[in-house]
A = this chain, B = another copy of it.
Amino acid sequence: MPKTQRQIKLGAFLMPTGHHIAAWRHPGAQADAGSNFRHYVELARKAEAAKFDAIFLADSVGVRSSQLDSLSRTARSDNFEPLTLLSALAAVTERIGLIATVSTSYNEPYHVARKFASLDQISGGRSGWNLVTSSGVGEATNFNREEHFEHAERYRRAAEFVEVVTGLWNSWEDDAFVRDQASGTYFDEDKLHVLHHKGDHFQVRGPLNVSRSPQGWPVVVQAGASDDGRALAARTAEVIFVAHQTFEEAKTFYADIKGRLPQYGRHADDVKIMPGIFPVVGRTQAEAEDKFAQLQDLIDPVVGVSLLANVIGGFDLSKYPVDGPLPELPETNGPKSRQRLLLDLARRDGLTIRQLYLRIAGARGHQQVVGTPETIADQLQQWFDEGGADGFNIMSPWLPGGLDDFITLVLPELRRRGLVRTEYEGTTLREHLGLKRPVHPAAAARAFSPPVRAEPVEAAHP
C-alpha cells in the first residue's frame, strides 16, 4: 500500500441539539434529542458514513446552569449518560470511534478502567476516554461536597487516576486467556499482572476483570489547556481537544505540546491535537451569515448572560447592564484556560456583555467559522498544514442539520483536496488516528530477553 499523504482527523462532537445555546429552538433541530436515542443512532451512522474518526461526547455529572430562569430555557438539563449511550451506539455502528468524557474528580479509577475496557471489547477496539477534571459546583454537590476541588488538587488527582487506569489496563497481556478446554487452563498465570497501586489518592489492587483491550488500551484523550492540563496531556494524552480563537494561539499551543513530548520519551506523532471548530456553512457567504443570524436571534438574553457567567467561572453578571462592559473579575477556582480566553477576548475587542455572549453562544471559546465550503476548507487546511492542528473536532451548531451541512458541503471540498479519507484504513480508533498500539510492558521485556521468565506473579488474593 503506497504511503498516503497526512490527512485531517475528524471528530463529530455531539451535543444533543447542537453546540449553539439556542440550537434546540432551530426548526432543523431535534428538540427532544436529550432523550431520543434514535436521533443519536442517525448522527452516529451519518458520521460513520462520512468516515469521521470518532464521535465525541462531553459530560457533566450534574446540571450545569446557574439560574433556574435560564436553565429552564436551555436544552442542558437532560441527556444520556455518555458510556451507556456509546455502548448502545457501538452495537449499531461498525467502524467509527467512540469517545466519552468521564471526570476523574468524582469517580473511582477501577470503574472507569473497567467501563472503557468493556466498551472497547463491545466495539471491537473503538473506544476513547476523554479525561477531564470537574469544576462545577453543580457536580460537587452531587458527590458529598459543598465545593469542587481546587485546580491543582484536581490535576494531582487526575494524574494519579490515569496512572491507575492505564495500570489496570495492563492487568492482562494480550494472550493471557488461552482457554484450553482440554487441559482446563483458562488463563496463563504468567500473563496476569496485579497492579498493587498505593498512592496519595487511590489504593487499588487489581487485577481488572476485563481482558486486555483490542487496542491495547482505549485511546486517552484530554482537553485541559492550563499549564497543569498541558503537563498532564504531554505525559499521558494521545489526543488533545482544545479551544482556540486564533491561528496564532493554535500554533503556539501546538508547538508547546509537541515540544514537551520528548521529555516523556514520546514523539510528535504520538499525540494528535484537534481544536474544536464551530462551522456555519452556506453555499454563499451571505447564506452562511443568514444561518448564523437565525441562530443568534433565537437567544434569550436571560440565557445569554447566564451562559457567559457560567463560562467565566460562575460569577454573577445579572446585576450589570447587558449593554455595558464586562466588569473586572476576581480569580476563581473554575477552568482557568477558558476564563482567561474569554477575558482576553472581551478586552481585545472591547465587547459589551451582550456582544460577548453573542460571541460565545455557539462555540464557547472555540473557533467559529461562518463561511462557504471553500473558505472553511481553506481555514482548516491552513491550521492543518501550518502547524496548528492534526485534525478538528466538529461542533455542529445545531443537529442534525448542522452536521448534514458539514458532511454534504465541506467534506467534498476537503476530499477534493485529498485532506480527508474516503475509506477507513483500519478497524480500531487507534488505526483511524494513526496511533501506536501500546505494547504490554511484560511482553516488551520478554521480547528483549526471550529466555527470562516474566517477574513472579502473586496470587490474585493472598
The distance from the CB of A161 to the nearest CB of chain B, in whole angstroms, is: 12
Q: Which of A165-188 contact B (CB under 8 A)?
A: 172, 177, 179, 181, 184-188
Inter-chain contacts of A111 with B (CB < 8 A): 61, 106-107, 111
Q: Which of A80-112 contact B (CB under 8 A)?
A: 80-81, 83-85, 87-92, 106-108, 110-111
User: Considering the chains assembled together, what is the distance between the CA atoms of A439 and B284 in angstroms?
Assistant: 52
The distance from the CB of A117 to the nearest CB of chain B, in whole angstroms, is: 8
Q: A51-82: contact bitstring with B at CB < 8 Å (1 yes, 0 no)?
A: 00000000011110111110111110111110
Is A32 located at the chain interface by the 8 A CB criterion?
A: yes
The distance from the CB of A99 to the nearest CB of chain B, in whole angstroms, is: 14
User: Considering the chains assembled together, what is the distance between the CA atoms of A209 and B85 in angstroms?
Assistant: 14
Inter-chain contacts of A62 with B (CB < 8 A): 110, 205, 209
Is A114 located at the chain interface by the 8 A CB criterion?
A: yes
Is A459 located at the chain interface by the 8 A CB criterion?
A: yes
Cβ 8 A contact of A115, one of B37, B77, B81, B177:
B81
Question: With A68-B457, A177-B78, A209-B60 given, is the CB distance from A144 to B73 under 8 Å?
Answer: no
Inter-chain contacts of A179 with B (CB < 8 A): 24, 31-32, 75
The distance from the CB of A143 to the nearest CB of chain B, in whole angstroms, is: 6
Is A434 located at the chain interface by the 8 A CB criterion?
A: no
The distance from the CB of A309 to the nearest CB of chain B, in whole angstroms, is: 11
- Whether the Cβ atoms of A144 and B204 lie closer than 8 Å is yes
Tell me the dominant secondary structure on chain A's binding face.
loop
Question: With A31-B179, A89-B91, A189-B68 given, is the CB distance from A209 to B84 under 8 Å?
Answer: no
- Whether the Cβ atoms of A143 and B210 lie closer than 8 Å is no
Question: With A187-B72, A189-B68, A210-B80 given, is the CB distance from A460 to B118 under 8 Å?
Answer: no
The distance from the CB of A450 to the nearest CB of chain B, in whole angstroms, is: 23
Inter-chain contacts of A110 with B (CB < 8 A): 61-62, 106, 142-143
- A84, A107, A205 — most chain B CB neighbours (10 Å): A84
Inter-chain contacts of A145 with B (CB < 8 A): 203
Is A345 located at the chain interface by the 8 A CB criterion?
A: no
The distance from the CB of A393 to the nearest CB of chain B, in whole angstroms, is: 22
Inter-chain contacts of A114 with B (CB < 8 A): 61, 81
Interface residues of A (CB under 8 A from B): 24-27, 31-32, 34-35, 37, 41, 60-63, 65-69, 71-75, 77-81, 83-85, 87-92, 106-108, 110-111, 114-115, 117-119, 121-122, 124, 137-138, 141-145, 172, 177, 179, 181, 184-189, 192, 202-207, 209-211, 298, 300, 303, 457-461
Q: Known pairs A24-B181, A63-B461, A142-B205. 7 more at Cβ < 8 A?
A: A27-B181, A37-B124, A71-B460, A72-B188, A107-B111, A138-B460, A138-B461
